[in-house]
């Protein structure tokens, strides 16, 4: 990218320099840190589909930067419009991707292709500020000595800032609150076991890794004081989609009286989606459930013909949420009923 400040942009999972866009291949973590170039939209679509780059805010930013690069390389309007549609469809659940592509499309219509790199940079730098707002708001809800259970990966690998749910925990830890994190391993793709542990090690925050099916026993023993999760799409009524397993944690939290918070930027809110039943849930390939693949090797433990159901996300109803932590505020159920989520900052 040409603009000077982007030449130096580096986040945990994405870099931009004078040669282009680089993605840290998250499927190889924590064993290997491999940076992949993404020279054109087709490369980025593949990278997004294979979850080499992942996390709702980060895929929106990565796609926007790719469109910015395409415009900078002199692509014509037809090529850019096609790339906007194809990138928008790379994954169906995280609305951040659609919001970012719609924003780029609006700029293309109103100001032309020359303005697209600058808009991509605005989307990228804005995500850092949104993360910071969530971290500040969420850290206030975390008390000294809290035991926080989290699911999937919601840190710097899922955004270009400090993160969503994990960002709040990292901020609270940096404030000296002495937090301990319980990390759900997050089957089938192990974003908790592979990525969240990697980030917590880097941040020197104490944690304990558990298999997803251990959360209930942990709560029964009173060892979880708060649950913080992210969101891929929040409907206007407060229902939200997040990594499959989130709904189970919400039910468990209600049963055990543990506060359950969803943390997301306003770019994860779908103003046109009235409730969770309307959120499209991605279904992925059976091999992800029949075994596991990564830099640790490839294993298949199930029968190769085993029938599989593999939804990447589930939908948690608003009735199970204690509060919605956004970049611009913390909202309770009354706020949400009055339309707080769709009003914006
Ligand atoms: O399939 P993934 O790894 O992209 O799923 C990511 C999540 O479910 C996160 O919790 C979500 O994007 C919100 S936090 C950035």
Statement to judge: residues 146 and 27 lie in one domain: no
Query: If pLDDT is split at 50, 70 and 90, which confidence band does 204 have?
Result: very high
CATH code where residue 303 lies: 3.40.50.10470
Element (H, E) at 149: strand 147-150
Statement to judge: residues 188 and 42 lie in one domain: no
Q: Give the domain-ending residue among 130, 160, 178.
A: 130
Would you say residue 316 lies in a domain?
Answer: yes
DSSP string, 39-91: -SHHHHHHHHHTTSS-SHHHHHHHHHHHHHHHHHTT--HHHHHHHHHHHHTS-
CA–centroid distance, 269 to ligand 1, in Å, is: 14
CATH code where residue 94 lies: 1.20.120.420
Which protein residue's CA is at the shortest distance from atom 10 of ligand 1? 230
Would you say residue 331 lies in a domain?
Answer: yes
Looking at every residue in the chain, the average pLDDT score rounds to 96
Interatomic CA distance for residues 33 and 202, integer angstroms: 13
Q: List pLDDT tens digits, range 44-92.
A: 999 999 999 999 999 999 999 999 999 999 999 999 999 999 999 999 9
Would you say residue 137 lies in a domain?
Answer: no
- Match 């499959």 to its residue by tokens: 244
Mean pLDDT of 325-338: 97
Please tell me the chain's helix, strand, coil percentages from 3-state DSSP, rounded to the nearest 5.
Answer: 45, 20, 35
Question: Considering the entire predicted model, what is its pTM?
Answer: 0.97
Residue 282 CA, chain-centre distance (Å), reads 14
CA angle 166, 9, 197 (to 5 degrees): 25
Task: Note the pLDDT of residue 53.
Answer: 98
CA–centroid distance, 114 to ligand 1, in Å, is: 32
Q: Find the catalytic residue in 25, 146, 184, 232.
A: 232
Task: Note the pLDDT of residue 5.
Answer: 46
Q: What percentage of residues in the chain have a pLDDT greater than 90?
A: 96
Angstrom CA distances, 31 to 158, 194, 291, 294, stand at 18, 9, 18, 9
Interatomic CA distance for residues 154 and 170, integer angstroms: 11
Token pair of 326 as six digits = 């956004």
Task: Note the pLDDT of residue 186.
Answer: 98
Query: If pLDDT is split at 50, 70 and 90, which confidence band does 6 have?
Result: low
Interatomic CA distance for residues 97 and 42, integer angstroms: 15
Statement to judge: residues 46 and 76 lie in one domain: yes
C-alpha torsion sign, points 42, 43, 46, 48: negative
Q: Is 241 in the pocket of ligand 1 (CB under 6 A)?
A: no
CA–centroid distance, 111 to ligand 1, in Å, is: 32
Query: If pLDDT is split at 50, 70 and 90, which confidence band does 2 have?
Result: low
Q: How many domains does the chain have?
A: 2
Range of the domain at 114: 9-130
Instruction: Give Cβ neighbours of residue 4 (< 8 Å, ≥ 6 apart).
Output: none
Which protein residue's CA is at the shortest distance from atom 8 of ligand 1? 243
Q: List pLDDT tens digits, range 250-297.
A: 999 999 999 999 999 999 999 999 999 999 999 999 999 999 999 999
CA–centroid distance, 244 to ligand 1, in Å, is: 10
Contact 189, 156 (CB under 8 A): no
Q: Give the domain-ending residue among 105, 130, 155.
A: 130
Q: Is 57 in the pocket of ligand 1 (CB under 6 A)?
A: yes
Task: Note the pLDDT of residue 1.
Answer: 53
Task: Note the pLDDT of residue 135.
Answer: 98
Q: What percentage of residues in the chain have a pLDDT greater than 70?
A: 98
Statement to judge: residues 176 and 98 lie in one domain: no
Mean pLDDT of 234-252: 98
Mean pLDDT of 136-152: 98
Would you say residue 4 lies in a domain?
Answer: no
Contact 193, 185 (CB under 8 A): yes
3-class secondary structure per residue, 203-252 = CCCCEEEECHHHHHHHHHCCCCCEEEECCCEEECCCCEEEECCHHHHHHH
Would you say residue 136 lies in a domain?
Answer: no
Statement to judge: residues 152 and 122 lie in one domain: no
Element (H, E) at 180: strand 180-184
Statement to judge: residues 63 and 198 lie in one domain: no
Q: Give the domain-ending residue among 102, 130, 158.
A: 130
Statement to judge: residues 296 and 159 lie in one domain: yes
Would you say residue 114 lies in a domain?
Answer: yes
Burial class of residue 317, CB neighbours in 10 A (0-12, 13-18, 19+): middle
Which of 13, 90, 94 for a ligand 1 pocket mutation test, highest count of atoms within 8 Å of Cβ?
Answer: 94
Interatomic CA distance for residues 160 and 23, integer angstroms: 11
Interatomic CA distance for residues 284 and 252, integer angstroms: 26
Q: Is 164 in the pocket of ligand 1 (CB under 6 A)?
A: yes
Q: Is 83 in the pocket of ligand 1 (CB under 6 A)?
A: no
Q: Is 158 in the pocket of ligand 1 (CB under 6 A)?
A: yes
Which protein residue's CA is at the shortest distance from atom 6 of ligand 1? 55
Statement to judge: residues 55 and 97 lie in one domain: yes
Would you say residue 163 lies in a domain?
Answer: yes
Would you say residue 1 lies in a domain?
Answer: no
Task: Note the pLDDT of residue 114.
Answer: 96
Statement to judge: residues 88 and 55 lie in one domain: yes
Statement to judge: residues 194 and 336 lie in one domain: yes
**330: pLDDT strictly greater than 90:** yes
Q: Is 327 a catalytic residue?
A: no
Statement to judge: residues 14 and 106 lie in one domain: yes
Q: Is 150 in the pocket of ligand 1 (CB under 6 A)?
A: no
Statement to judge: residues 218 and 327 lie in one domain: yes
CA–centroid distance, 54 to ligand 1, in Å, is: 7
Task: Note the pLDDT of residue 7.
Answer: 65
């Amino acid at each position: 990218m040409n603009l000077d400040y982007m030449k130096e942009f580096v986040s945990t999972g994405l870099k931009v320099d004078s040669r282009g866009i680089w993605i840290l291949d998250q499927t190889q973590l924590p064993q290997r840190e491999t940076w992949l170039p993404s020279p054109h939209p087709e490369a980025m679509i593949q990278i997004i589909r294979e979850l080499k780059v992942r996390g709702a805010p980060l895929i929106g930013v990565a796609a926007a930067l790719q469109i910015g690069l395409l415009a900078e390389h002199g692509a014509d309007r037809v090529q850019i419009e096609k790339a906007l549609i194809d990138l928008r469809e790379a994954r169906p659940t995280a609305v951040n991707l659609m919001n970012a592509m719609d924003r780029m499309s609006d700029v293309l219509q109103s100001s032309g292709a020359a303005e697209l790199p600058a808009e991509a940079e605005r989307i990228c730098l804005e995500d850092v500020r949104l993360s910071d707002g969530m971290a500040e708001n969420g850290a206030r809800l975390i008390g000294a000595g809290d035991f926080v259970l989290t699911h999937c990966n919601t840190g710097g690998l899922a955004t270009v800032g400090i993160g969503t749910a994990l960002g709040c925990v990292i901020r609270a830890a940096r404030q000296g609150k002495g937090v301990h994190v319980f990390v759900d391993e997050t089957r089938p793709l192990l974003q908790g076991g592979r990525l969240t542990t990697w980030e917590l090690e880097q941040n020197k925050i104490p944690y304990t890794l558990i298999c997803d099916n251990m959360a209930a026993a942990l709560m029964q023993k009173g060892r979880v004081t708060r649950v913080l999760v992210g969101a891929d799409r929040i409907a206007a009524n407060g229902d939200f989609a997040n990594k499959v397993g989130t709904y189970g944690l919400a039910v468990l939290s209600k049963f055990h009286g543990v506060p359950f918070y969803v943390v997301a930027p306003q770019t994860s809110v779908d103003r046109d989606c009235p409730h969770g039943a309307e959120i499209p849930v991605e279904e992925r390939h059976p091999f992800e459930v029949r075994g596991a693949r990564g830099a640790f090797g490839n294993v298949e433990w199930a029968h190769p013909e085993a029938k599989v159901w593999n939804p990447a996300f589930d939908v948690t109803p608003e009735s199970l949420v204690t509060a919605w932590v956004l970049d611009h505020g913390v909202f309770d159920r009354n706020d949400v009923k009055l339309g707080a989520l769709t009003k914006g900052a």
